[in-house]
Structure 1
Amino acid sequence: MKAAKASMAQITPAEWQALSNRRVLFGHQSVGQNILEGIESLAAHAGVKLPVTKLQEPGSANGGGIIHFFVGQNEDPASKLKDFAKTLEEDKTKAADIALVKFCYIDFKENSNAKALAEQYSSTLDRLSQQFPNTHFVAVTAPLTVVQTGPKAWIKRLLGRTPSGLADNLRRREFNDLIRTHYGQSGRLFDLAKIESQDSGSYEYENRPIEVLSPSFTYDDGHLNDQGKKVVATQLLKYLASLSLKN
């Protein structure tokens, strides 16, 4: 399976070295924490030291590695953008080389305005890029959830209701496609949704294709299990190292 192959990708010594020499700021919530746990597991297995520290913890203001913090409030994506910008503007990171902020799957509902969210997200990153020209800002597509299947989904359809994971994943797809269009050609995009949806099968809602989280990557239909953590963490580290190697 493609997912299994991705999980076996190796971080090279040169990539580990590049990562250790760069300060990466990561604003996230629970799925981001899953990814960080995957990063720590990969580093431990490789026998390398890649500091992963919470913002304002002792040592977070010095040296390279990943500095992270829980950004804003879930189900309030605007608060995440505001908190991320405030953290940078107050110079709490002491000049990050690379900065990322990620929405959570729970920030998207059936009635979410994906276009407005994408505009807010991209305008915030673009403004910060101008304010902090020495920091490489990276956009991240929104994480996904699985689509409900089995007897419960069948009963919902029988009652004229929509199984969970269809409508909200459509909103995420709309957001993600706008972010891909805005940042894809620049190289300033980590496509989390593309990684999460590998081997998940083909789904449509309202005659439109959607991406869904691969069931093999999750333990609760949204958060990442050990396999999902390692697959996503590997791809994120390789991506960040490629940015570091260019700078």
Structure 2
Amino acid sequence: MTIKYFIRRGAHSLFLGLLLAMVWGCEENLPEGEVIYTPLDLTLQAYIEANKVDSSMLIDSSAQHVLLIGDSMADGLRHPFSLLAKQNGHKFTAVAKTSSSILAWQGKRMKALIEELKPTYVMVSLGSNELFTRQLDAYKKFVKRIVDQIGEVNFIWIGPPNWRKDNGLTGVLAEGVGEGRFFPSQDLVLKRAGDGIHPRWKEYEKWANAISGWIMTESKQKILMKVPDKVQSPNDKLQAHNSQ
């Protein structure tokens, strides 16, 4: 009896072994001398389909220029993200202002800044100052203008860390930036500072780490953002310096 088959050595030999075993198992039901042909194209196609690599799971490990843009929440994320960027070989720039808003950035400001700094990866953290707006139709347009200004540059939008339920802005942001580009910070449980709004210092570290994990596993444009063993606060650095 002669059997034509395709064999490839490697990690998936078990798959092919099982396939061939099923073919050989038909031998008892065949007349003596009959030949079984396992079509090479079908066998190979099945192998390829079974072991296809999903490109959406690939992480871009090249060095990036990460630009963080936003309000006071972005200002709090500045330090942990600067350390994360350094840990992973990226250049990092932050443009954060306490009073920043979606409204303020929906003009030509975003495009001008991107043309000036030439980032390869943009993080937007806006919306906290307008979290309870009811002008949702207007903000849909504002968000679209910002996304249009970012253009072809890879980006994510870090959603506001709600301290109470909003009136729909979070949904507008998620829908406006598209799947795999919106990090839902409202799902996190963060301890707040005295104002009841901003996270405590260490909570910014946890927040940044959560975003970094999401970037590498669930975001549309994955870049290397492994979390370091420990993120030092300015107080940690001061204590280390004084102990020398």
Q: TM-score, normalised by structure 1?
A: 0.54
User: Is residue 146 of structure 2 the alignment partner of residue 128 of structure 1?
Assistant: no
Matched residue type, 1:97: T
1:140 to 155, 158, 175: 158
Alignment partners' CA distance in 1, 2:123 and 2:74:
11
Residue of structure 1 equivalent to 2:48: none
Answer whether contact 1:27 1:102 (CA < 8 A) is retained: yes
User: Is residue 61 of structure 2 the alignment partner of residue 37 of structure 1?
Assistant: no
User: Is residue 142 of structure 2 the alignment partner of residue 170 of structure 1?
Assistant: no
Q: TM-score, normalised by structure 2?
A: 0.54
User: Is residue 146 of structure 2 the alignment partner of residue 106 of structure 1?
Assistant: no
Matched residue type, 1:74: S
Deviation at 1:142, TM superposition (A): 2.6
Deviation at 1:244, TM superposition (A): 3.8
2:68 to 6, 19, 26: 26
Residue of structure 2 equivalent to 1:80: 105
Q: What SS does structure 2 have at the residue aligned with 1:66?
A: strand
**Any runs of at least 4 consecutive aligned residues in structure 1 with deviations exceeding 4 A, and if so which?**
40-43
Alignment partners' CA distance in 2, 1:237 and 1:244:
10
The verdict on how the C-alpha distance between 1:140 and 1:41 changes in structure 2, with shifts beyond 3 A counting, is: closer
- Cα-to-partner distance string for 1:35-70 (whole Å, 9 max, x where unaligned): 122335668xxxx6457xxxxxxxxxxxx3321112
Residue of structure 2 equivalent to 1:58: none
Deviation at 1:32, TM superposition (A): 0.8
The verdict on how the C-alpha distance between 1:77 and 1:40 changes in structure 2, with shifts beyond 3 A counting, is: closer
Count of residues paired in the alignment: 163
Alignment partners' CA distance in 2, 1:32 and 1:227:
14
Residue of structure 2 equivalent to 1:66: 92
Deviation at 1:239, TM superposition (A): 3.2
The verdict on how the C-alpha distance between 1:137 and 1:103 changes in structure 2, with shifts beyond 3 A counting, is: same
Percent of aligned pairs with the same residue? 11
Which one has the largest radius of gyration?
2
Which structure 2 residue ranges, 5 or more long, are not aligned? 1-58, 225-244
Q: What SS does structure 2 have at the residue aligned with 1:231?
A: helix
The verdict on how the C-alpha distance between 1:245 and 1:29 changes in structure 2, with shifts beyond 3 A counting, is: closer
